[in-house]
Amino acid sequence: MQNKKIGILTFHWGANFGGVLQAFALQTTLKELGYDVEIIDFSYKSHLDNFLLCFKTKSISNIMQRLKEHRKNKLFKPFRTKNLNLSKRLYTSRNVEREIQNYDVVICGSDQIWNPSTIKYLESLYFLPFNTKIVKKVSYAASLGTDQISKDDLEKITPFLNDFNSISVRENSAVTILQKVVKDTISLVPDPAMLINSIQLDKIVSNKFKEKDFQFFYILQNKQHTINTIKDYQSKTNSVIVVTKTTYFYGIEDWIGGIKYSSSVVTNSFHGVVFSVLYHKNFIAVPLEGTHKGMNDRINTLLKNLGLSDRIIDKYDENKIDYLLKTDINWEEVDSRLQKQREIGVKFLEESLV
């Protein structure tokens, strides 16, 4: 057994299915490797915690959005309490700086913890901008969430990145961007959710949808024309269950169950694709549109590595939709590729945590 204590700093706190599940997956993997693991429970107090903060705005639409997110977060809390090994709650970067001294290693990641927007409103916290030599700093599958970053932002985070002992990211574009300013090699690794399997997921899945016959749509962001057109087309002949970013009546266990028990999945979500693969579901991946296009490289990287790039539909095509949803995937080949990805991820962790 390992005797090192590992702290994970990531987006486990959001009302986001993939964000919480990737934290669960990394914790699970590290525990199986024999480490003492704790998720650093940092999050500013917000409307997710406090109902009254939902009304701290003059915009009616913002109030309604916050109320939905608050209700959704309440559905997430039981899962976090039961399945995530959380530290005490921390509300400031100074609290985090003090807390990380209790760990031998702090792992930043996965999820979009290095999205340029976090630099602006989270004080670069997820780059561990602390002057400490006793705690090893590692990133695992950190994501920029974009294929572009400003020169000013890059200059700001460069000294923080070069203070890391090991860095890994989950997109090819992030390797290209960061390798220009980081002295050591940046590794490309799979998202933590790919390190676990369907057997492990079955321990947390809900049976709410077990007896139903349906297609599962998981749609992120608003005004996504292509995936909504596919949904309208499929709903003419099939029963569909649609979950969006603002859906507030399904918990994490239900969401996983929706994928497991569906006949097929259509999604523009990275983690929607990941869990479709883990459950061997025929699926269609639809790229994000508009201002969110920069987030697509993570899905492109994933599907290229698994030999599933043909599952991407970037424009409405009824013939291709029908073909993909009726054509079985060669899961033996995909699982072989997935196993190689898992080996890459586990090897990175083992070597980085020594």
CB-count burial class (<10 Å; 0-12, 13-18, 19+) for 93: middle
42 pLDDT tier (thresholds 50, 70, 90): very high
293 pLDDT tier (thresholds 50, 70, 90): confident
pLDDT the model gives residue 48: 85
Instruction: Scan for tokens 């979500």, then name that residue.
Output: 269
Q: What is the pLDDT of residues 197-231, one digit of tens each?
A: 999 999 999 999 998 899 999 999 888 999 999 99
How far apart, in Å, are the Cα atoms of 319 and each of 185, 316, 326? 44, 9, 11
Going by their DSSP bridges, the two strands 215-219 and 5-9 should be labelled as unpaired
Q: What is the pLDDT of residues 69-94, one digit of tens each?
A: 889 889 999 999 999 999 999 999 89
- Measured at the alpha carbon of residue 188, what is the angle toward residues 184 and 194, in degrees to the nearest 5? 145
How far apart, in Å, are the Cα atoms of 276 and each of 16, 28, 280, 312? 17, 19, 6, 13
> For 225, what's the count of Cα atoms within 13 Å in the CB-facing half-sphere?
7
**Amino acid identity at 12:** H
Lowest pLDDT segment from 54-58, 118-122, 188-192: 118-122
Asked if 186 and 11 touch (Cβ cutoff 8 Å), the reply is: no
- Other CB atoms within 10 A of residue 246 CB: 14
Asked if 18 and 269 touch (Cβ cutoff 8 Å), the reply is: yes
Which residues share a beta bridge with 267?
A: 218, 285
Residues 6+ apart with CB under 8 A from 15: 48, 69, 72, 73, 76
